[in-house]
Amino acid sequence: MKRTLFALGCLLLASPVLAQSVGEKTGVNSALGVSPSTADFVKEVAISDMFEIQSNTLAKDKGNAAEKTFASQMVTDHTKTSNELKGLVSGGKVKAELPTALDSAHQSKLDKLKGESGKDFSSDFNSMQVSAHKDAVSLFERYAKGGDNADLKDWAGKTLPALKHHLEMAENLDKTK
C-alpha cells in the first residue's frame, strides 16, 4: 500500500512537468493558453530564432524584393533576440539548456525551402513566416503572462511588440505581389 501511494505521489508530482513538455510539443498548451515551462520556452525560442535566421538568409538570396527586405529585418531582429536569450542563460538569470541545432520539424521546412525557387519558394516561405510568427506571438504572450522566471517573463513582454509587428509584416508579404 505504501509503495502504491508513493508511486502515485511521484506520478502526480512529475505529471505537470511532463504535461508541459508534451503539451508544448503537441500544441495543447497553446490551444489552452497554458504558459510553457521555462525550459520549453527557452528551447522553443532558440529553435525559432535559428529557423528565422536560416530561412530568412535563404530568402535574402531567393526571394522577391519584398521578401528580401523582410528577410533582412528578420535576420537582424532574430539575431538580436537570440543573443539576448543566450545572455540571460549564460548570465545565470535563466536556468535552461539552449539547443544547438534545429529540431526535425524546422529542419524539414528549411530543407524544403532550400530546394525551391520562384513562386514555389515565395508561397512556402510566406506561409511559413506567418505560421512561425503566430506561434511565436502565442508562445511569448503565454510566457509573459504566466512564466515562472521573472527576468525571462520581463524579456518576453518586452519582445512581444516586435514579434507582433513581424507577424503583420509576414501577413503583408502576399499582398505585395
Q: Note whether 86 and 99 are within 8 A (CB).
A: no
pLDDT score recorded for residue 175: 79
Q: Note whether 153 and 142 are within 8 A (CB).
A: no
pLDDT score recorded for residue 31: 59
pLDDT means over runs of 10, the chain (177 residues): 49 41 53 82 97 98 96 98 97 94 96 96 97 96 96 97 97 80
pLDDT score recorded for residue 8: 42
pLDDT score recorded for residue 72: 98
pLDDT digits (tens, 9 = 90+) for 100-150: 999 999 999 999 999 999 999 999 999 999 999 999 999 999 999 999 999
pLDDT score recorded for residue 134: 96
CATH topology for 36-176?
Ferritin (1.20.1260)
List the domain boundaries for the chain: 36-176
pLDDT score recorded for residue 5: 43
pLDDT score recorded for residue 174: 80
